Amino acid sequence: MSTWFLNLFSKNKILQLDGEYGSLDGELFYKKLAIESCINLIANCISMSEFLTFENGKEVRKDNYYLFNVKPNQNLSASEFWKKAIYKLFIDNELLIVQVNNNFYIADSFDSDKYALKDNLYSNIEINNYTLEDVFKESDVFHLTLNNSNIKNLIDGLYIGYAKLIKAGQLSYIKSKSRRGVLNVPTSYPQTKDAQDDLQDIMNNKFKTFFQSEKDVVLPLTNGLTYDELGINNKGKSVGEVRDVRSYIDDIFDFVAIAFNVPPQLIKGNVENTEQAINNFLMFCINHLAKLISDEVNMKFYRKADYINRTYTKLDTSRIRVTSLKDIANALDILTRNGINEVDDNLRTLGREPKGGEIGNQRFITKNYMPIKEMIKEGT
């Protein structure tokens, strides 16, 4: 601003009107915050789920259970591993997991050759800057994809317009809070170098200190210079402008959440209808993702004959929801007295260690329930 202002008093220079009006530092990260919030919420839920392993219809805990739920590889716990896997799945729209030396590893990058009538091939698989030399067939890897479109690219396109609106709203608010004034320079102001240097110092330094000071200050002016304060251009607009910016940000969180099948109130911290929002989140997002992972594991990790004989893995999401004993006591009572739940089933629901053996496998049923045929016999 000072350069073009001083040129007003220079006879040898052409006046430049492209003054410096300030700039907004930094980028807008609301989109990234919304995306990260959704992915972290989904990843946390999946990492809290449990891979249940079955052999011939009976739940067992053997090497596969340990591999999926405790230690997928030597560097990551199961919680860290699945969080990283889900994050990569949503960011890249696909995920490749390979098994090397009985450990699972997430591929950072890879090349793929797609075929119609035989296994796809995966090569140049890079894991933490290490490239595997082997070529993996489709049947030897876990390869997950979400859909045909990259969610992040769709969000990026939609965000462009909102980013401009948010930036415009912020600039408008900043301008409404800025101080404005007029520096009156008399025509008799000296044209000497010292006088011009003093004016330059006033414009570049003293006015800056004057405007930014948090304490009472006095601005000394000489050579007939006077300053008139125009005041802050508030006029009641700032509150509305802040609300406009906030509404744009809310819109961003809303459409990002919709893209990830996450109820918006869960990432914005709203408590209204939280119970229903959690139900929808589990039903339309988490359970679908758990089914996707379970299907891939069962298709690649078990033979057809094993699966038919009920040897399989299931990603159980039933323990994600936090429930108190008071909330489920009545339901457990009904399931127990009807002979549906074993003792161990109830203990698992409560997050406790199952007893096992004869006690843990016991079922109970009240005398109020009997087969219809027996009831008819007693009535005749």
Same domain, 27 and 60: yes
Cβ contacts of residue 260 below 8 Å, gap of 6+? 38, 39, 42, 90, 151, 285
pLDDT by residue (tens digit) across 108-167?
Answer: 999 999 999 999 999 999 999 999 999 999 999 999 998 756 666 667 766 666 666 667
Q: Which of 55-64, 251-260, 321-330 has the lowest mean pLDDT?
A: 321-330
Range of the domain at 24: 1-93+146-178+233-322
Q: Which of 20-34, 59-73, 105-119, 283-297 has the lowest mean pLDDT?
A: 20-34
Residue 100 lies in a domain: no
pLDDT confidence of residue 270: 80
Is residue 194 scored above 60 in pLDDT? yes
Compute the 3-state secondary structure of the chain and give helix, strand, coil in percent, each to the nearest 5.
50, 15, 35
Same domain, 278 and 154: yes
Residue 226 lies in a domain: yes
Q: Comparing C-alpha atoms, which of 134, 45, 50 is closest to residue 90?
A: 45
Residue 133 lies in a domain: no
Residue 98 lies in a domain: no
Is residue 10 scored above 50 in pLDDT? no
Q: Which of 61-65, 230-234, 320-324 has the lowest mean pLDDT?
A: 230-234
pLDDT confidence of residue 210: 74
Is residue 100 scored above 90 in pLDDT? yes
Same domain, 191 and 331: no
Residue 45 lies in a domain: yes
As a whole number of angstroms, the distance between CA 129 and CA 108 comes to 8
Query: In terms of pLDDT, which residue wins out, 168 or 49?
Result: 49
Is residue 198 scored above 50 in pLDDT? yes
Query: In terms of pLDDT, which residue wins out, 253 or 243?
Result: 253
Is residue 353 scored above 90 in pLDDT? no
Which band of pLDDT confidence, cut at 50, 70 and 90, is reported for residue 25?
A: very low
Residue pair 91/152 in contact by the 8 Å Cβ criterion: yes
Q: Which of 18-32, 121-135, 251-265, 321-335 has the lowest mean pLDDT?
A: 18-32
Same domain, 354 and 223: no
Which band of pLDDT confidence, cut at 50, 70 and 90, is reported for residue 355?
A: confident
As a whole number of angstroms, the distance between CA 298 and CA 118 comes to 19
Mean pLDDT for 57-81 is 96
Q: What percent of the chain has pLDDT over 70?
A: 74
Residue 295 lies in a domain: yes
Beta-strand runs (E) in the chain: 50-55, 58-60, 94-100, 103-106, 109-113, 121-127, 130-131, 136-137, 141-145, 179-184, 226-232, 312-316
pLDDT confidence of residue 170: 64
Q: Which two tokens stand for residue 73?
A: 């590889």
Residue 250 lies in a domain: yes
CA distances from 140 to 108, 251, 277 (A): 17, 42, 38
pLDDT confidence of residue 24: 32
Q: Which of 14-23, 166-175, 282-291 has the lowest mean pLDDT?
A: 14-23
Same domain, 355 and 207: no
Same domain, 64 and 210: no
Mean pLDDT for 253-272 is 87
Q: Coil, strand or helix: which one is 323?
A: coil
Which band of pLDDT confidence, cut at 50, 70 and 90, is reported for residue 11?
A: very low
Query: In terms of pLDDT, which residue wins out, 349 or 166?
Result: 349
pLDDT by residue (tens digit) across 281-336?
Answer: 999 999 999 999 999 999 999 999 999 999 999 999 988 887 777 778 888 888 88
Same domain, 16 and 72: yes
Model pTM score: 0.71
Q: Comparing C-alpha atoms, which of 26, 46, 98 is closest to residue 293?
A: 46
Q: What percent of the chain has pLDDT over 90?
A: 40
Same domain, 86 and 29: yes
Q: What is the mean pLDDT of the chain?
A: 80
Same domain, 209 and 295: no
Domain boundary among 299, 322, 345: 322
What's the number of domains the chain is made of?
3
Same domain, 166 and 308: yes
pLDDT confidence of residue 295: 97
pLDDT confidence of residue 301: 95
Domain boundary among 282, 305, 322: 322
When mean pLDDT is compared over 33-42, 181-190, 249-258, 344-353, the highest value belongs to 33-42
Same domain, 192 and 264: no
Same domain, 318 and 328: no
Residue 64 lies in a domain: yes
Domain boundary among 272, 289, 322: 322
Residue pair 262/38 in contact by the 8 Å Cβ criterion: yes
